[in-house]
Structure 1
Amino acid sequence: MADNVSTVAADLAAAIPSAVSTQEQGLSLSELQKSVLAAKAALGTDDAGEITKKLGEAVAAALALPDIQPDADKIGSKDLDLSESKFPLPASISQEQATIVYAAFKVAYDQIMKLKQEPDNNEMLEVYAFGKQGLRTAPEKPGVFNIKGKYKFDAWAKIVNTHPVKAQAQYVQVVDKLINKYGKQ
């Protein structure tokens, strides 16, 4: 399992010293740095091999999460609620594992912009769908003339029943695959 997240795990491990340094200097932390520091606490290690192993275990736990049932009549409207209060973390995954997955998701979210080559349309739709769901952000249904928006909405609608933490894990896997396919700048 860890081999399909190893690149993102290495990027997470590499982000830890910078986040620690920023914190020690008393500088303002970015959202990415905050999630990296939370993951560092949850991981309990700075060792890259151990981070890869623990991220692999956390992703496996997240991928086993059951589907959710959002309000079907609100899909496509700004009123769809995907919040943590509506869909809390199931007991089958620990808070520490969810924290590790979220930090890897934020690192992957940052790394996707650094690919040497833009992924094809289907890959980008997959990234979009898992990213939206992972951020607990439901897109509104686009207008009839917004073809690009329709493709994006349809890609997200296919996974609307995916728990957001599971979507974060799937996003990490997809981005890891894309980094290995296209390389980073």
Structure 2
Amino acid sequence: MTDIDSQFTQAQEDVKQLPERPGNLTLLRLYALFKQASEGDVHGDKPGFTDIVGKYKYDAWAALKGTAQDAAKQQYVDLVESLKSGASA
């Protein structure tokens, strides 16, 4: 396992132990970065207008299209670290 992979795995554990729940926009960013890092570019059909949460998740992930998986992992790790230190919520 590469260094970024181990950091990414650790960040997935750390995010569950955050002192306070991040705001919805931060949660959406975490979701999108996780999906990009673990699965690559968005795939599947965009949810319809009745699935508001699914639509926002899809759009957030689609916004990262073309981002390399390792780059997404690094951004995810950086975001979790900033949340742990209380820098962003």
TM-score range normalised by the length of the shorter chain: 0.7 to 0.9
Partner residue, 1:134: 37
Partner residue, 1:111: 14
Aligned-partner Cα distance in 2 for 1:166–1:124 = 18
Is 1:163 the counterpart of 2:68? The answer is yes
- The partner residue of 1:121 within 18, 21, 24 is 24
- Percent identity, aligned pairs only, is 35
Aligned residues: 85
1:63-74 equivalence runs, <5 A: none
Query: Following TM superposition, by how much is the alpha carbon of 1:139 offset from its aligned partner in structure 2, in angstroms?
Result: 5.3
Aligned-partner Cα distance in 1 for 2:43–2:11 = 21
Aligned-partner Cα distance in 2 for 1:149–1:136 = 17
Contact conserved, 1:131 with 1:168, CA < 8 A, in 2? yes
Aligned-partner Cα distance in 1 for 2:29–2:81 = 13
Task: For residues 95-114 of structure 1, give each alpha carbon's deviation from its aligned partner in whole angstroms, at most 9, with x where no partner exists.
Answer: xxxx1001100110111111
Contact conserved, 1:130 with 1:156, CA < 8 A, in 2? yes
Unaligned runs of 5+ in 2: none
Q: What is the TM-score when the length of structure 1 is the normalising length?
A: 0.43
- The partner residue of 1:145 within 50, 57, 60 is 50
Larger radius of gyration: 1
Aligned-partner Cα distance in 2 for 1:160–1:114 = 29
1:37-52 equivalence runs, <5 A: 38=1
Partner residue, 1:177: 82
Q: Secondary structure of the residue that 1:170 maps to in structure 2?
A: helix
For 1:179, the aligned partner's letter is K
Q: Secondary structure of the residue that 1:142 maps to in structure 2?
A: coil
